[in-house]
Structure 1
Amino acid sequence: MSARISDSTVYSHLWGTDELRQIFDERGRLQGWLDVLAALARAQAAEGLIPAGAAETITAELRVDRLDLDRVARGTRETGHSTLGLIHELRRVLPEPAREHVYVGATVQDVTDTWTSLATRAVGGIVWRDLRRIEDRLLDLAVAHRDTPIAGRTHGQPGAPATFGWKAASWADEIRRHLDRLREGAPRWLVGQLGGGIGTLVAYGDRGLAVRARFCADLGLADPVISWLSARDRIAEFGGLLALVTGTLARIGEEVYELQRPEIGELGEPRPEGVVGSITMHHKRNPEGSEHLNTLARLVRANAGVLLESVVSQHERDGRAWKAEWVALPEVCLLSGTALRLGVQLVEGLEVRSDRMAANLRTHLGGTQNPSDAGAAAAMVDLVVARARRARSEESPSWP
C-alpha cells in the first residue's frame, strides 16, 4: 500500500498519467540509467578505452528485468551511496569479461543527469503534442465564435462588450507562446552529462572530450561543452515552463469555472456519462475538471520552486540540489501531464452557450456591441489565428 495519494490505486489518475508513469516509475527509470551506461560503454570502446567485446556484452545484458531490485536496495542502504548497490548488482549479473568495464570513470550524476535529459525529451514530446491539440481546438473556437458577443469582465464584473472568439484567441495565443518556449529551450535542455568526479573528465585522459561527444551523440543528445554537475538552471527552466503551462491551463479553467455558474451559464465543461456532482445535492453539476486544473497548477508551482532552489548549489557538486530534483521533477512532470490531459478534455468538449452570452450582455450592458468594438476584436482574432496557422505549417508535429 502506498502512503502517497498520488500513487493510490483509487486516486492516482488525479495526479499522473500512465504514459508519464512509464517514464518515471522504478523500472522505467532504472532501465533508462542502464541505457545510459550501455551508451557510455560503447563510446569508451570506440575510443579504445575498453574492449569492444565488453561494450557489446554490456549493451546486450543491461536489462532491468535481470536485476534483483531487493539486492540493489539493500546495497544502497548498506553503503549509503546512491548507485553502489546498483553497481554491485551489475557486476554480479554481467559475464566475467565485461563486469569490470561497466560504469567506468563515471559518477552518479553522469548517469542520472543524462537520463534526466532523456526523460525531459520524452516529457517535452508529450507536452508539445497536447499543447498543439489544445491550441488547435482553441483556434477553431476563435474562428467559430469570432463574432459571438459576450460581456467582457474586469474585476469579476461586466465591463464592456467583446466576443467569445476574442477570448478564445487570447487563450490560444498564450498556448502558442509556450510552444515557442518549448522549441527554443530544446537545445539548452537536451544535453548529456559526462564529467567524472568533479566534471573535468580526468579519468579518460586525453580521450575525455572525444568519449563525451560519442556518448552524447549515441543518445541523441547535444554535447554540453562544459560539465553541469552544479549548474542546475536547465532543469529549473524546464520545471518553470511547466509551471507556466499549467498556470495557463488553470487560467482557462478558472474562466470556465466562473462562466458555467448557473447565474451566468455562458459555458459548460464536458460531463462524461456516469459522473456525479454531489451525493447530497443532486441538482448540482460540479466543475470538477476546471477546478482540478487550479489544484494541479498550485502543486506544479510548489515543486517548480524546489527546482529553482537547486540553482543555488556549491562548488563542483552539491547533493542538496540535485537530490531534491529526484523528487520534485517527476512530480512536476506527472502533475503537468494530468493538467494537459484535462485541458484537452475541457476545450474539446467545451459547451458554448451563445444565447446566454447575448442575454447577459443585454442585461448588464444594455444592448449589443458597438460595430467598431466588434470589428477590432474580430481583427485581433484574425491576427492570432493567422500567426498560429503559419507557425504550425512551419514546425514539426513532434518535438524537438
Structure 2
Amino acid sequence: MIKRYRVSSIQKIWDEENRIQKWWEVELEVIKAWNILGVVPQNDLDIIIKKVNLSLSRMLEIEKETKHDVVAFTRMISESLNEEAKWIHLGITSTDVVDTAQNLQIKESSLIVLESLNALSLTIFNLAIKHKKTLIMGRSHGIYGEPTSLGLKFLLWHAELSRQIKRVTLAFEDVCVTKVSGSMGNFANLEVEVENIVAKNLQMPVDLISTQVSQRDRLASLFLSFANLASTFEKIATEIRLYQRSEVKEILEGFSINQKGSSSMPHKKNPISSENISGLSRMIKSYVIPALENNVLWHERDISHSSNERIMLPDVFNLITYISNRLNSVLINIVVDEKQMLKNIQLANNVFYSQPILTEAIKHSNNKREEIYDLIQKASLVALQENKDFIEVIKTYDISKFISEDKMKEILTLDYFLRKVDEIYLRYNEQK
C-alpha cells in the first residue's frame, strides 16, 4: 500500500515484523500442544519460550539461500536453540503456520474495520435524524420527480451500510479459522488434538477439513463482501458529487479555510474526497477476480495465490479503513443548503403535483385512468415548456370534473410529500 493511503493501525498488523511474530505465535502454540500431549518435555518448552529471539533481518538473510521464507524462519528460530530445536515445526507444514497466522492478522484487522464502519454508520444515522423533515427534490433518471425527505436518503444509506456490516462480519467469521492439519490436510504426521488445542488457545475455530491450505473460497467471500461494501461507499460518494455540481449546489463537501480547489482557478471548490473515495472503491472491486481465481489451486495446493494475497490483503484492509474514515469525515462536515434545495424545488413550477392530482382524481371520479393521465400530462408539458405554474395551468383544463377544490387544496402542499415519513422512521427503528 502506498504511503498516502496507509492506516497506521492496519499497517502495523500487516508489516513484516508482525507477520513473523504471528508465525511464531502459531509455531509456539503447536509446540505447547505437543507438550500437552506428552511429546515435548516441559523443560524443552521452557527453554524454547525463553531463548527464541525473532530477527527479520536474519531470516531474510537465510532466505537468500533457501529460497523459502518459512524454512528461513524456522532456521532463524533454531539458531537460538540447541537440542530442543528439534521440536520446531514438528509434524506441520508451512501453510499451517502461514494460513493460520494470516487469519490472525485478518482477525485483528477486522476489529479496526468494524470499529470504523460502526462510526460511519452512527454519523449517517444522526444525519437521518437531523434531516428527517428536510425537503429535497427527488430525482429518477437524473430528472426531477417529486420532493422527498433528505433524511430518508440518509436512512437508506444507513440501512444499506447495516446490511454490508452484517455481510462483512459473516465473512470475517468464515475466514478466521485455525488450519493445523499437515502437508496434505490429513493429519498423517500429527494428532488432530494438536489443531484442537491450538484453535482453542488462538480463539479461532478449526478449519474442519482442509488440504495443505485453508481453502480460498473463504477469502473469496471476504473480498466479495468488501467489493459489495465498496459499491456502497462509491454510491454515497457519487451522490455527493452529483449534488455538488454548480447547477445543483444542494449538498457539498466541507471546505477548510486554507483549502484550494484548483491550481489555476481560485474560485473552485471540488468534491475531491468523494472523487477519491470513488476511485479507491474501484480498486477494491478489482480484487474480486484474483480472489475468485485463487480458489482454483492444483490438487492439494500450489502457491499461485500466495503472491497476489501478499499484495491484496494489506491493501484491501488499508483501503476499506481509509475510505470508511474519510467518508465519515466528509459526512461529519457535510454542508446541506436547504435554501438551495427549496429553490430547486420551486424551479419545477409545481409539476411534481401531477401524481397526487392523478391519484386523487382516479380515486374520486368515474373516469378512465388514461383520460385523466393524458389531461394532466398535457398541462404539465405546457407548464414546463412555457415556464408557467402547473397549478394555474391545470385549472384551465377543467380538472374540477375529476377532483374537488377542497381535495386540491389538501394535496397542493409540500408537506404532502412528508406525510408518511414519521411512519417510515418508526417502522425502521422497530425492525432494524
Letter in 1 for 2:427: L
TM-score, with structure 2 as normaliser: 0.81
Structure 2 distance, partners of 1:386, 1:135, is 17
Following superposition, the deviation at residue 140 of structure 1 comes to: 1.2
Q: Identify which of 346, 352, 358 aligns with 2:330.
A: 346
| Match in the other structure for 1:212 | 195
Q: Within 5 A, what are the aligned runs for 1:66-215?
A: 67=55, 69-92=56-79, 94-204=80-190, 208-215=191-198
SS at match of 2:331: helix
Structure 2 distance, partners of 1:44, 1:105, is 10
**Is contact 1:193-1:224 (8 Å) kept?**
yes
Matched, 1:222 2:205: yes
Number of positions where the alignment pairs a residue of Structure 1 with one of Structure 2: 371
Structure 1 distance, partners of 2:257, 2:109, is 30
Letter in 2 for 1:181: R
Identity %: 24
User: Which deviates more from structure 2 when the two are superposed, residues 149-158 or residues 49-58?
Assistant: 49-58
| Match in the other structure for 2:246 | 262
Following superposition, the deviation at residue 370 of structure 1 comes to: 5.2
Structure 2 distance, partners of 1:335, 1:241, is 14
* Alpha-carbon spacing, 1:80–1:147, altered in 2? closer, same or farther (3 Å): same
Following superposition, the deviation at residue 216 of structure 1 comes to: 0.8
Q: Within 5 A, what are the aligned runs for 1:249-328?
A: 249-328=233-312
* Alpha-carbon spacing, 1:385–1:136, altered in 2? closer, same or farther (3 Å): farther
Deviations 1:131-157 (A, max 9, x none): 111111111111111111111122222
* Alpha-carbon spacing, 1:130–1:363, altered in 2? closer, same or farther (3 Å): same
TM-score, with structure 1 as normaliser: 0.87
**Is contact 1:147-1:165 (8 Å) kept?**
yes
Letter in 1 for 2:417: D
**Is contact 1:232-1:311 (8 Å) kept?**
yes
RMSD: 2.0
Matched, 1:379 2:423: yes
Letter in 2 for 1:59: I
Deviations 1:225-274 (A, max 9, x none): 21251621111111221222222111111111111123211112133453
SS at match of 1:263: coil
Letter in 2 for 1:381: Y
Letter in 1 for 2:25: D
* Alpha-carbon spacing, 1:271–1:59, altered in 2? closer, same or farther (3 Å): farther
In terms of Rg, which structure is larger?
A: 2
Letter in 2 for 1:39: E
Following superposition, the deviation at residue 376 of structure 1 comes to: 3.2
SS at match of 1:135: helix
| Match in the other structure for 1:26 | 16
Q: Within 5 A, what are the aligned runs for 1:29-40?
A: 29-40=19-30
